[in-house]
Structure 1
Amino acid sequence: MFEKLSNKCFLKSTALLLSFAMMFMSFTLPAGPVTLKSGSIIPLELLSTISSKDCRSGQMIYFKVTKDVVAEGKTVIPAGSIAKGQISRVKKSGLLGSEGQIEVVIRSVTAVDGTDVYLTGASLNDEGNNQVALSIVLTFLCLFGFLIKGGNAEIPAGTLCNATVAGNTTINVD
């Protein structure tokens, strides 16, 4: 009889402990402002292919956040959010085999409350194939080598990169 009573007490105390654990695990932090620290990493993926052939300097380029960004235990930038970049330098491929060049700088992403979070430390760039030597040789041989164009620079959709938060940013989380 003592053994049955002991097992009953054990089961009741275990159930009570489990109840407290479940209650603690479902506890949510109160809403309010949180600070996304300067230097926090934002993982991004390029949404569309960009090429020196058909883009221009200053053009906006879009990225998708690949993983929730959390500050103080709260999601401040959910996965799937759109980040903005801008083409900062573009050179089209040219005659005499000169290659195309392109550089994209990532500028900002929008937090859950609509705050623009400014980003730094991330850029993508590419250079096309340089055909200058071939062009010069062919120019001497047949006089039409100068018409050879270099390759276009291209950054494919799906390219992954990390941007860094430029400065501490206060975000209101509900």
Structure 2
Amino acid sequence: MTETNKKIKPELKLIDVKPALENYHTVVKAFIQNPTASIISDLKIEAQVTKKDSKTVLHEIKKENYAMAPNTNFGFAIPWDNQELKPGKYTVSVKAEDKTKEKWEFTRDFEIKKEAESLNKEAVDIEKSFPWGWTIAGGIVLLAIIAGAVYFIIKKRRKN
């Protein structure tokens, strides 16, 4: 049932971007909204994340065959590839196209803040960076202490 024969033009909006967990894996969610009273079907969405003011793509995803109900929104998850969410300023670029070849492009800066540490702790299969520099420095200090102790023990025994 309709009140008019006028076709409603589909519309999409990018309403927010923030770090999250999806199935206990680190992601950044781009919240996309369909504010119109029409179904958008056969939706293709691709997204890329870069550091702010950089062209180097850190994470990207392409998905097809999405559909959005009228007056809804959803969080389009951009996988963080089992890496920690590191605080910093980033930019997300989202491109979408529906079956009628209507296209949308969004770019939004966002920030991952220190609060992402709690997400990293809850995440599974995360590749944590190991502090090799501190481990090597600690090993050198430990070897120096052992060598010094051996030197003083040998010196004391030679005097006796």
- Which TM-score band applies after superposition, normalised by the shorter structure? 0.3 to 0.5
- Normalized per residue, the structure richer in strand is 2
TM, length-normalised to structure 1: 0.32
